Amino acid sequence: MRDANLYRLMRRRFPADLDQPCLLLPGGATVTYRTLDARSAQIAHALVSAGCVAGDRVAAQVEKSATAVCLYLACLRAGLVYLPLNTGYQQRELSYFLLDAKPRVIVCSPDAMGSMSAIATPRMRIFTLDDRDQGSLINEIRTCFEDFKPVPLQEGDLAAILYTSGTTGRSKGAMLSHGNLAANALTLGEYWAFSAADVLYHALPIYHVHGLFVAIHCVLLSGSRMWFCPRFDVKEALELLPRSSVMMGVPTFYTRLLANPEFGRKHCATVRVFISGSAPLLPETFASFEERTGVRILERYGMTETGMNTSNPLFGERIGGTVGPPLPGVSVRVTGADGKSVPAGDIGGIEVKGPNVFRGYWGMPEKTAEDFTADGFFRTGDMGRLPANGYLQIVGRAKDLIITGGLNVYPKEIEELIDSLPGVLESAVIGIPHPDFGEAVTAVVVAQPNARLTSNKIIAALKPQLAGFKMPKYVYMVADLPRNTMGKVQKNILRQQYEK
């Protein structure tokens, strides 16, 4: 049987000359493919020496660094299950993840050693690692061999567990296999035409699918290189984009670029594709970016449980407000409450099927069974429409659906209308409890600087365009919307804030 270890696949695709750079650090230093290979081998030996055996979990709550990437690669090599944790998680949240996943090894920042020790069990070994590649993990690997033969694995063997945000209840650990990650990475590399000549601008966090899997896998499987930036900074981006060929980012990256009057075509001359994901890209941002640069952003659709599902084409029409057709090998359908596909263009639940779809939720077999159909499609929880042109449109999460007076209201429709009004920067539409209607449509709006917008003006502008039951009963003007680290608006926080 073919060995499906993802690192073995990566290693075969590294440049023949391992001294070629892979990570380009903003300060001028570089990390070569040879260094990645050697250091990940050393870490794999250290993890095995710490008692890890194939299938054990390794939790990492660390800042973005070259060694953090090597830690992930080491887990792949040794057949261990990588568990990346958001660096913003606090002790209560961490306690849940550690008790649920039961990692054999934990890697954290030196500053977090005390709090991590307080919640870890005696069986868990803790190492430290900071953003300057210093810590007890570095001390541990100094005498380790720089060669480690990847553990033979099958496609279904776990490579990682990523916990969902848990905004509507208990966080769920999505189990992603070596086969899941390899299938998605190979498809994306081909679909987006990655080659050894590419230079990716990488300013995403690496505890999330977008930065860890989508971005890094595309680079490693093409033998290319990336600017490896700790975070997104507009000034730094303006310096590095003219030396890049691909940019991957969340919509916030693009709005911040557009907010800088210096940003323009000269910064995009070498960039063959700008890719956006992790949160919806406003049509206004899509249009403004094209007007400023002459380039259309490529928006795609994915999630923790599946990696990428759809993408606007690299060659062909990119349509704003859509996330493109299904990727090769992925099936997408939109279904109604009866589980049957709805007519083209009608709104329904989005379901996906393919080799990219995860194995299930860690320790939650009943939830896993609930979220899969009898014929193997995963119910994403997203609502959308699939018109005849095949370009999927996302209208929101099923949990964000507003039912007012027994009628369904999709927030995306109202948000698009509000966002198109003069003086509006962005908006979020939520449902809050109402004694008569069950839920009241409520709009939370951010105005553009110096715009003289009021709630009454917004309501007056919407009345001619919306059915009465869709009209917001409340409009609140705010300075900004709460977002998570990947730029998604946190509607659960808004609902808590405005519940009567």
Domain boundaries, the chain: 6-190, 232-398, 401-498
Q: What is the number of residues in the chain?
A: 500
Laid out side by side, the sheet with 393-397 consists of: 331-335, 347-353, 378-385, 393-397
- Tell me the β-bridge partners of 335: 341, 349
Instruction: Provide the b/e sequence for 130-167 (b: ≥16 CB within 10 Å).
Output: beebebebbebbeebeeebebbebebebbbbbbbbeee
In which residue are the tokens 């263009």 written?
345
Q: What residues have CB less than 8 Å from 143, skipping those under 6 apart?
A: none
Residue identified by tokens 């403004």 is 288
**Three-class SS of the chain:** CCCCCHHHHHHHHCCCCCCCEEEECCCCCEEEHHHHHHHHHHHHHHHHHCCCCCCCEEEEECCCCHHHHHHHHHHHHHCCEEEECCCCCCHHHHHHHHHHHCCCEEEECHHHHHHHHHHCCCCCEEEECCCCCCCHHHHHHCCCCCCCCCCCCCCCCEEEEEECCCCCCCCCEEEEEHHHHHHHHHHHHHHCCCCCCCEEEECCCCCCHHHHHHHHHHHHCCCCEEEECCCCCHHHHHHHHHHCCEEEECHHHHHHHHHCCCCCHHHCCCCCEEEECCCCCCHHHHHHHHHHHCCCCEEEEEECCCEEEEECCCCCCCCCCCCCCECCCCEEEEECCCCCECCCCCEEEEEEECCCCCCEECCCHHHHHHCECCCCCEEEEEEEECCCCCCCEEEEEHHHCEEECCEEECHHHHHHHHHCCCCEEEEEEEEEEECCCEEEEEEEEEECCCCCCCHHHHHHHHCCCCCHHHCCCEEEEECCCCECCCCCECHHHHHHHHCC
Helix (H), strand (E), coil (C) string for 458-477: HHHHHCCCCCHHHCCCEEEE
CATH code of the region 401-498:
3.30.300.30
Matching fold, domains 6-190 and 232-398: yes
Q: Which fold has domain 232-398?
A: Rossmann fold (3.40.50)
Encoded tokens for 152: 């033979």
Q: Tell me which residue of 157, 209, 200, 197 sits closest to 53, measured CA to CA.
A: 157
User: Is the separation of the CB atoms in 174 and 161 below 8 Å?
Assistant: yes
Rounded Cα distance between 368 and 174, Å, is 10
| Burial class of residue 206 in the structure, from the number of CB atoms within 10 Å of its CB (0-12 exposed, 13-18 middle, 19+ buried) | buried
Residues 441 and 414: beta-carbon distance below 8 Å: yes
Which residue, 167, 90, 251, is CA-closest to 494?
A: 167
- The region that residue 273 occupies, defined by phi over 0 for left and psi between -120 and 50 for alpha, beta otherwise, is beta
Are residues 256 and 281 in contact, defined by beta-carbon separation less than 8 angstroms?
no
From CA 213, how far away is CA 403, in angstroms rounded?
36
6-190 — its CATH code?
A: 3.40.50.12780
Residues forming a β-bridge with 162: 174
Scan for tokens 């070259």, then name that residue. 66
Cα angle at 316 between 311 and 318, to 5 degrees? 55
Asked whether 191 and 328 are in contact (CB, 8 A), the reply is yes
Largest CA distance in the chain: 73
* φ, ψ for residue 46, nearest 5 deg: -65, -40
CA distance 197 to 71: 26
Q: How far apart are CA 265 and CA 372, in angstroms?
A: 45
pLDDT in tens, the chain (500 residues): 689 999 999 999 999 999 999 999 988 999 999 999 999 999 999 999 999 999 999 999 999 999 999 999 999 999 999 999 988 888 888 999 999 999 999 999 999 999 999 999 999 999 999 998 899 999 999 999 999 999 999 999 999 999 986 444 568 999 999 999 999 999 999 999 999 999 999 999 999 999 999 999 999 999 999 999 999 999 999 999 999 999 999 988 999 999 999 999 999 999 999 999 988 888 889 999 999 999 999 999 999 999 999 999 999 999 999 999 999 999 999 999 999 999 999 999 999 999 999 999 999 999 999 999 999 999 999 999 999 999 999 988 888 888 887 777 888 889 989 999 999 999 999 999 887 777 899 999 999 999 999 999 999 999 988 888 889 999 999 999 998 877 889 998 999 999 86
